[in-house]
């Protein structure tokens, strides 16, 4: 099993980013995907619904995560993992845009009109957040075992 190639910009800012990306990519079986990570000022992210990160699919196996520079340190793992779960949703064909301009997407066979759902009520967001929170706990437990 391979791991995702992760290109971390501004590496010194968040030391554990690469470790988290590698671990989570393995957990989510994202072994054929390249994920670029860019740290971004708040202004660029403000228009998005997700305050701390925005995901862009650049090509079928290439994604970029824009991570806000104002993200609290304790929340980085969860936010990155949340975005990686979205990448998994895309890669499995569970999530795709039906109409980018009208902001409609398909998730698990259901049509999701982004205009009709609050961010927190969107099924693909609920799944991403629940999975991310679970995986972060699993990761912390695994790290504790290594340290013992
Ligand atoms: Zn999300």
pLDDT at site 68: 85
The CA 83 to ligand 1 mean position distance, Å, reads: 6
Identify the helix (H) or strand (E) that includes residue 5.
strand 5-8
pLDDT at site 9: 52
Nearest-10 crossing angle of helices 123-147, 17-27: 110
Q: What would the pLDDT profile of 105-146 be if each residue is shown by its tens digit?
A: 999 999 999 889 988 899 999 999 999 999 999 999 988 887
Q: How confident is the model at residue 92 (pLDDT cuts 50, 70, 90)?
A: very high
Q: Do residues 104 and 114 make contact, with C-beta atoms less than 8 angstroms apart?
A: yes
Q: Is 80 exposed, middle or buried (0-12, 13-18, 19+ CB in 10 A)?
A: buried
Question: Helix or strand or coil: residue 21?
Answer: helix
Identify the bridge partners of residue 52 per DSSP, sorted by sequence position: none
The CA 125 to ligand 1 mean position distance, Å, reads: 5
Domain 5-147, CATH among 3.40.390, 3.40.50, 3.40.1350, 2.60.40: 3.40.390
The CA 1 to ligand 1 mean position distance, Å, reads: 26
Residue spans of the domains in the chain: they are: 5-147
- Positive or negative, the CA dihedral 4, 8, 12, 14 is negative
The CA 140 to ligand 1 mean position distance, Å, reads: 22
Question: Helix or strand or coil: residue 136?
Answer: helix
DSSP strands (E only) in 9-124: 34-40, 53-59, 62-68, 95-99, 104-107, 110-113
The CA 148 to ligand 1 mean position distance, Å, reads: 34
Query: Given a cut of 90, is residue 103 above it in pLDDT?
Result: no
């Amino acid at each position: 099993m391979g791991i995702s190639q992760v290109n971390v910009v501004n590496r010194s800012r968040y030391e554990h980013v690469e470790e988290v990306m590698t671990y989570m990519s393995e957990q989510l079986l994202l072994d054929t995907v390249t994920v670029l990570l860019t740290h971004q000022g708040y202004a660029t992210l403000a228009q998005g619904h997700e305050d701390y990160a925005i995901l862009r699919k650049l090509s079928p196996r290439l994604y970029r995560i824009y991570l806000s520079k104002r993200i609290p340190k304790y929340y980085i793992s969860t936010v990155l993992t949340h975005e990686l779960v979205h990448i998994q949703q895309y890669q499995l064909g569970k999530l795709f845009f039906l109409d980018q301009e009208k902001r409609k997407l398909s998730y698990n066979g259901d049509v999701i009109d982004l205009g009709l759902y609050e961010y927190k009520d969107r099924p693909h967001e609920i799944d991403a957040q629940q999975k991310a929170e679970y995986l972060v706990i699993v990761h912390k437990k695994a790290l504790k075992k290594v340290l013992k």
